[in-house]
């Protein structure tokens, strides 16, 4: 089966010694914009490309405002803080995610509550959240509390795994019912939609990543989107050292963070965002080819976009029917220069 798989993949990519999980592509105006940023001398914490990227990302997502950040993890940390997560609170999330999701909770001094994902989306299951809340939570004067631990449940943080939208609308309904804000880890899901709306625009805030392995990259970077302009303004303030605007004085009105996306990176981000529709179209073609290839396969199932959703197909995924095959598949594919990885622990 490995020879056949290798032949198929090489027929798609051409004969290359190594086929990575994902590789960035800079076929647009990346060089031009980055050189322009250098020529302007504005390479650091402020500059026209930062403002432009924030505006263009907001336009793409169809939200009033986005705030650029130094990376997705930092953006998540700030989004949770702005959602009202405080030390010793609990945040409901999924264990099946990259470590950054749980780290962002821990950076706020809070505790993750890991609940199941759905088999078809690999994202947080509304059924699991509903069961947990009805079984363990109670509404008190100061919020929703976990009866067993006595801690406040401050937020719900689902993740759109590999760019496949989770059941975000149902999660938002539950959040609304209980009065718990939903923050979306949409780090992997730029370009993905549930229905017609973009992932990351359903909850109170959504967070994106532009790390080198993501759908578009600016070297390192992240963003927070919110439909609430007040909240976005707070995000901008907190990620830019909480400096009170003034022509010369350094007055900071709270403990903020230096989580700014440098203008040099924002230049790259602007060029990449222009390429996003083309990159998404290519990802979709590839996923379509894999889907067809694996449709007759008896040892694994190709993960397809959920019903009614459009996935960005950031990374293509198969689920092995026999989990005992996992190490062999990893060893054989990687040995043949086809990069595969197991899902996160």
Ligand X SMILES: *Cc1c(COP(=O)(O)O)cnc(C)c1O
Q: Which residues, including other chains, have CB under 8 Å from residue 278's CB and lie 6 or more apart?
A: none
218 binds ligand X (CB under 6 A): no
In the bound state, the residue with its beta carbon closest to ligand X is: 72
185 binds ligand X (CB under 6 A): yes
Tokens of 196: 């017609």
CA 217-338-221 angle, 5° bins: 15
- Cβ(153)–Cβ(145) below 8 Å: yes
Number of residues that bind ligand X (CB under 6 A): 15
Q: Give the residue with the Cβ less far from ligand X, 146 or 211.
A: 211
Q: Give the residue with the Cβ less far from ligand X, 137 or 206.
A: 206
Q: Give the residue with the Cβ less far from ligand X, 101 or 333.
A: 101
Closest contact distance (angstroms) between CB of 159 and ligand X is: 5
Cβ neighbour number for residue 295 with a 10 Å cutoff: 10
305 binds ligand X (CB under 6 A): no
Q: Give the residue with the Cβ less far from ligand X, 179 or 342.
A: 342
DSSP state at residue 290: H
Contact code string over 61-100 relative to ligand X, x by CB under 6 A: ----------xxx--x--------------------xx-x
101 binds ligand X (CB under 6 A): yes
In angstroms, the CA 162 to CA 213 distance is 11
CA quadruple 42, 48, 53, 54: dihedral sign: positive
In angstroms, the CA 127 to CA 150 distance is 23
Could you give phi then psi for residue 69, rounded to 5 degrees?
Answer: -140, 170
Single residue of 83, 102, 159, 194 touching ligand X by CB under 6 A? 159
Closest contact distance (angstroms) between CB of 162 and ligand X is: 9
Q: What is the dihedral of CA 4, 10, 12, 18, to 10 degrees?
A: 130
Q: Give the residue with the Cβ less far from ligand X, 22 or 197.
A: 22
222 binds ligand X (CB under 6 A): yes
Tokens of 223: 């963003």
φ/ψ bin of 120: left (φ > 0), alpha (ψ from -120 to 50), beta (otherwise): alpha
CA 284-316-29 angle, 5° bins: 55
Contact region for ligand X (CB under 6 A) — 125-133, 184-192, 230-238, 290-298?
184-192
Contact code string over 110-149 relative to ligand X, x by CB under 6 A: ----------------------------------------
188 binds ligand X (CB under 6 A): yes
Site for ligand X in 323-342 (CB under 6 A): none
Closest contact distance (angstroms) between CB of 77 and ligand X is: 10
235 three-class SS:
helix
Residues engaged in binding ligand X (CB under 6 A): 71-73, 76, 97-98, 100-101, 159, 185, 187-188, 209, 211, 222
């Amino acid at each position: 089966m490995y020879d056949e798989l290798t032949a198929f993949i090489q027929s798609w990519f051409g004969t290359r010694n190594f086929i990575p999980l994902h590789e960035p592509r800079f076929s647009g105006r990346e060089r031009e914009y980055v050189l322009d940023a250098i020529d302007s001398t504005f390479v650091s914490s402020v500059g026209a490309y930062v403002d432009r990227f924030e505006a263009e990302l907001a336009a793409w997502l169809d939200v009033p405002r986005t705030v650029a950040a130094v990376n997705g993890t930092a953006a998540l940390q700030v989004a949770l803080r702005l959602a009202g997560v405080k030390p010793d609170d609990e945040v409901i999330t999924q264990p099946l995610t990259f470590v950054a999701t749980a780290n962002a909770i821990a950076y706020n001094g809070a505790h993750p509550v890991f609940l199941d994902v759905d088999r078809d989306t690999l994202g947080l299951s509304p059924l699991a959240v509903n069961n947990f809340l009805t079984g363990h939570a109670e509404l008190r004067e100061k919020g929703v509390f976990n009866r067993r631990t006595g801690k406040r449940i401050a937020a719900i943080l689902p993740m759109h795994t590999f760019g496949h939208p989770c059941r975000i609308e149902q999660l938002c309904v539950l959040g609304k019912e209980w009065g718990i804000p939903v923050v979306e880890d949409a780090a992997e899901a730029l370009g993905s939609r549930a229905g017609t709306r973009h992932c990351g625009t359903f909850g109170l805030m959504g967070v994106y990543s532009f790390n080198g392995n993501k759908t578009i990259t600016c070297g390192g970077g992240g963003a927070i989107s919110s439909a609430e302009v007040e909240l976005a303004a707070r995000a901008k303030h907190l990620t830019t050292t909480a400096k009170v605007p003034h022509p010369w004085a350094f007055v900071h009105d709270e403990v903020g963070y230096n989580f700014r996306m440098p203008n040099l990176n924002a230049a790259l981000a602007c060029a990449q965002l222009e390429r996003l529709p083309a990159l998404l179209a290519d990802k979709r073609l590839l996923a379509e080819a894999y889907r067809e290839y694996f449709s007759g396969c008896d040892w694994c199932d190709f993960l397809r976009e959920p019903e009614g959703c459009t996935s960005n197909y950031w990374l293509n995924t198969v689920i092995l029917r026999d989990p005992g095959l996992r190490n062999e598949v990893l060893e054989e594919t990687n040995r043949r220069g086809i990069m595969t990885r197991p899902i996160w622990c």
